[in-house]
Amino acid sequence: MMKDQIKLSNSLPRKYFGTDGIRGKVGMFPITAEFILKLGWAVGKVLARQGYGKVLIGKDTRISGYMFESVLEAGLSAAGVDTHLLGPMPTPAIAYLTRTLRAQAGIVISASHNPYYDNGIKFFSAQGSKLPDNIEIAIEEQLEKPMTIVDSAELGKAVRIVDAPGRYIEFCKSTISSDVKLSGLKIVVDCANGAAYHIAPSVFRELGAEVYEIGVEPNGLNINLECGATYPEFLQRYVLQEKADLGIALDGDGDRVIMIDHQGQILDGDELLYIIAKHRKELGLLQGGVVGTVMSNLGLEQTLARLDIGFTRVSVGDRNIITELVNRKWLLGGEPSGHVICLEATTTGDGIITALQVLSAMQHQQKTLAKLREGLHKYPQVLLNVKVKQTDDLIVQSAIQKTLDEVKKELGDAGRVLLRRSGTEPLMRIMVEGRDENRVSQLAHKLAAVVRKEMAGDE
């Protein structure tokens, strides 16, 4: 099983690495050509100590990917490491290919769901999981050293892998039973003008579905732009217009998925986890319970409890979810964002594979997506983002702490409030949920106003 290939790691401090690699605005440190060149070199030097092995490089469709692909290749070559270039590929595809091509590591050039003007670098180990902490720390230490170049005879070479999309399409189809056929289903697939644009429609079409493609015309600037998993309203309109059975919206790098039922209702990661977990429970295939995050709806937790399915929360981030799954020997976890992890199939979040799990439940039970969702009663939840500049801990600011305590007291046991700094953007994220939708909204905006005032961010 995939869980056996994942190495756990301890939490250690980072200078450059965030919750999901290194990410930021293109042209601003550290997302500059100069730094990424040296990052490639540092990665190469660290990997060279582990023994010889090629490194895979894949990317999404944002325009800066061309530049960063070139400098990463140059940096790795300078350290004496060979590279295999995959071109535009979903993040989970790079994790899979790193394993199957027996590479020493995989590098993804992507800022996931962020706009085109952001980019980032994230890494997979030879097992297709996130790099262990000790390797990340070693890379950061290497970055502090002067860049050197190996002897010309030892420079790394680069080749392009031309059959990568086909390999991954076949892998995705292999993750569900061969008796699952999608014939008769009309599906709209929104690829967010991102890395899955040439892959996702083929997966569902080859399984028999009638597929309508949108978000499949990337131009380097339109990735995630008013489409995809971060803007499901685009898909929602299209599903209703075409009278489709359902819609599938991926994000720019293909590791998230949001689905739309035939009535136009949006199903986020909580609903998808519920459908998959309940189906596996009914088949006797659910190993353990479900790992969610602090963002998971209280209604999901309560509904799973009524089904006698265990549930636990961790901090936001797939690294935290995977670590908890491995610790508990469970196989299913995810976030409301649509980042769902099925460890029996793959080592990371995968939007296509998650959608296939849901479609498998639909076909086995001969129910619509709307019917499968029934039984999950979610609490009204309001999510707000506040732009911030200050880097000090907001909890020590008395005005924010006072308001936070007031909101918690009013909600009591019938709701939750969460205030956290984004690990990928200059934002403070606010979540309030409870029984009364209007009051939840009022409390969320009250807290946001105080954070906005105290944290001195731009509108």
Q: Tell me the domains of the chain and their CATH numbers.
A: 2-162 (3.40.120.10), 168-373 (3.40.120.10), 381-455 (3.30.310.50)
Host H or E run for residue 33: helix 33-50
Q: Does the structure show a pLDDT above 70 at 392?
A: no
Given the residues 64, 77, 110, 112, select the one marked as catalytic.
112
At 130 the three-state DSSP class reads strand
Query: The tokens of 174 are what?
Result: 């292999």
pLDDT tier at 107, thresholds 50, 70, 90 = very high
Q: Does the structure show a pLDDT above 80 at 394?
A: no
What is the pLDDT at residue 211? 98
Give the tens place of pLDDT for each residue, 415-450: 999 998 887 678 899 999 999 999 999 999 999 999
Cα 272 to chain center, whole Å?
A: 15
Q: How far apart are CA 221 and CA 115, in angstroms?
A: 8
Q: Does the structure show a pLDDT above 90 at 334?
A: yes
What is the pLDDT at residue 133? 85
Q: What is the mean pLDDT of residues 281-310?
A: 96
Q: Are 225 and 61 in contact (CB under 8 A)?
A: no
pLDDT tier at 390, thresholds 50, 70, 90 = low
Burial of 281 (0-12, 13-18, 19+ CB in 10 A): middle
Q: What is the mean pLDDT of residues 59-88?
A: 98
Per the document, the length of the chain is: 459
What is the pLDDT at residue 53? 86
pLDDT tier at 300, thresholds 50, 70, 90 = very high
Q: How far apart are CA 406 and CA 402, in angstroms?
A: 6
Instruction: Give pTM, 2 decimals.
Output: 0.91
pLDDT tier at 5, thresholds 50, 70, 90 = very low
Candidates 172, 228, 222, 239; CA nearest to 202 is 172
Backbone angles phi, psi at 432, to 5 degrees: -130, 130
pLDDT tier at 143, thresholds 50, 70, 90 = very high
Q: In what order do the strands lie in the sheet with 416-421?
A: 381-387, 427-433, 416-421
Q: Is 9 tagged catalytic?
A: no
Range of lowest pLDDT (102-116, 360-374, 382-396): 382-396
pLDDT tier at 12, thresholds 50, 70, 90 = low
What is the pLDDT at residue 396? 54
Q: How far apart are CA 205 and CA 194, in angstroms?
A: 18
What is the pLDDT at residue 425? 75
C-alpha distance from residue 331 to each of 72, 140, 274 (Å): 34, 32, 14
Q: What is the mean pLDDT of residues 27-52?
A: 94
Bond into 201 cis (ω within 30): no
Q: What is the mean pLDDT of residues 239-263?
A: 98
Average pLDDT, the chain: 93
pLDDT tier at 8, thresholds 50, 70, 90 = very low
C-alpha distance from residue 441 to each of 313, 425, 433 (Å): 24, 23, 8
Q: How far apart are CA 416 and CA 436, in angstroms?
A: 12
What is the pLDDT at residue 279? 98
Q: What percent of the chain has pLDDT over 70?
A: 94
Q: What are the residues facing 332 on neighbouring strands? A: 290, 342
Q: Does the structure show a pLDDT above 60 at 322?
A: yes
What is the pLDDT at residue 391? 56
